[in-house]
Copies of this chain bind each other. A is one copy, B any other.
Amino acid sequence: MPEVVVGVLGAGVVDPDVPLLRADDLGVLRGDGCFETVRVRDAPAGELDRLDKHLDRLARSAARLDLPAPPADAWRGLVREVVAAWPAPGEAVLRLVLTRGLEDAAGVPAPVGYALLSPVPAGTLRQRRHGVRAVTLSRGMPAAAHLDAPWLLGGVKSVSYAVPMAALRHARSVGAEDVIFVSTDGQLLEGPTATVVWAGDGTLHTPPPVALGILDGLTVRALFARAPDCGLRTAVAAGTVADLRDADGVWLVSSIRLAVPVVTLDGAALRSDPGLTARVQRAAGLCACE
């Protein structure tokens, strides 16, 4: 198995063991950049989940960071090259990263765009099957904090993920594997790398991203679009931790893990229905065989 494949806009596939970013790249010094994570379903043949929507969201993140976004066609060409260079068949994780690069004297950046292909982590397959133990943690902000405050970068997928990563480490230190962030006024927000979905009365619920400044999840959108075919209604609606405790099922939904059932929350078992999880995972894009 390869470690990773790296491709750079303007340069194509490069040696992944040769460093790519300068010591003074503002993406490194300031976490000033954005990214997307795309599921490759069938490398090296090249079937990707929702690449166009990921490229749209990457361009929106870049615009919010005042970063000139490379054209989508350039990304598509790079993605084809990188995926074709992947020697193992099946699933893989594709990251698209745009860092600010260096700024000139006038503050104009020279962004660096690259694609990074890596294996699906072993834990992902395990989590899809067996679920995760999650803890609720404060995100430190009231639910409405982001409204009229674009500099807080609500909904922007920036690379400044130190807090989500610290939250995941905190979860592991208390015997869990994942986190559900809540606002200081008790509203459900999102996971560090996933959208929260819960079921009740035959309806799947997820919090409203724009109102809460959380990421507008592409996988949850796909899941909700397909849910009616699986006999499930959907609702975008605010929720609380009590809603999760009362739910018929809770999932963390994201591009690579798809829909991972949350089996315990803050140490207490959540209701869990393997049949319902199977339907949710199918609607999220998981084949029966996976």
Contacts and interface: CB of A to CB of B under 8 A. Distances in A.
Interface of A: 4, 6, 16-33, 35, 64-66, 95, 97, 99, 105, 114, 116, 118, 122, 137-142, 145-146, 149-153, 156, 158-167, 169-170, 184
Contact of A153 (B21, B99, B159, B162): B162
Nearest to A173: B66
Copies of this chain in the oligomer: 2
Nearest to A138: B149
B151 A145 contact: no
Contact of A22 (B16, B29, B138, B159): B16
B23 A116 contact: yes
B169 A30 contact: no
A23 B16 contact: yes
A24 B118 contact: yes
Report the 7 A-B pairs with minimum CB-CB distance, sorted nearest first.
A31-B31, A160-B160, A160-B162, A140-B145, A31-B160, A158-B162, A151-B167
A29 B141 contact: no
Contact of A29 (B97, B167, B184): B97
B149 A137 contact: yes
23 contacts: A6-B24, A16-B24, A19-B19, A23-B114, A24-B118, A27-B28, A28-B28, A28-B97, A29-B159, A29-B161, A30-B162, A31-B158, A65-B166, A66-B169, A137-B151, A138-B145, A138-B152, A140-B145, A141-B145, A142-B142, A152-B166, A156-B162, A160-B163
